Amino acid sequence: MKIVVMSDSHGVRQTLEMVMNKQPDADLYIHLGDGEREVHAFLMSHPEYQDRFRYLCGNCDSGFLVDPTLDKFVMTLPYGHKIFAAHGHAYQVKYGTNRMRFDAREANADIVLYGHTHMREYRYEDGVHIVNPGSLGAPRDGKRPGFALIDVCESGVSVNLVELTR
């Protein structure tokens, strides 16, 4: 199963379009929030992606186009894996991921996704993949806009952080 994870596009539809054009065959697309307008516009012009797209409400989203209570979700994946995804602002991830990881452990998730910080990160701790895809619209880590590509298969989970190039 191929999963594309992105976050924090903040009105920059061009980078969202770039990701979708580079990864048209993914099984699942997850946007972790702060990009409701460009995601809505993309899905209106490309309805064929609707069933494969999940969107979380971020702290900068108005809630006009997306339910503001959808700031996290848990999803079961093939081969016994499970995702816990949150935008991250409610967990105050700028100060660490401990609170979010606690909820993920309670949900028996082995993949934790979050955004909000605009800084790409991947680490593997205590059997859990912790992934922040960075920002599509305003990176704060000195890197170009990027996203995460996650492959889930029978032999395990593979995570790659991808930098967008023109």
Q: Which fold has domain 2-163?
A: Purple Acid Phosphatase; chain A, domain 2 (3.60.21)
Work out the number of other CB atoms within 10 angstroms of the CB of residue 97: 23
> With the CA atoms of 103, 107, 108 and 111 taken in that order, what torsion angle do they form, in degrees rounded to the nearest 10?
-70
Q: Which of 56-65, 82-91, 146-155 has the lowest mean pLDDT?
A: 56-65
pLDDT, mean of residues 136-154: 96
pLDDT confidence of 66, banded at 50, 70, 90? confident
Q: Which class for 1: exposed (0-12), middle (13-18), buried (19 or more C-beta within 10 A)?
A: middle
Q: Are 127 and 81 in contact (CB under 8 A)?
A: no
Work out the number of other CB atoms within 10 angstroms of the CB of residue 52: 13
Assess whether pLDDT exceeds 90 at residue 9.
yes
Structure tokens at 148: 């995460």
Structure tokens at 104: 């993920």
pLDDT tens for 11-36 read 999 999 999 999 999 999 999 999 99
Domain ranges in the chain are 2-163
How much is the pLDDT for 67?
Answer: 78
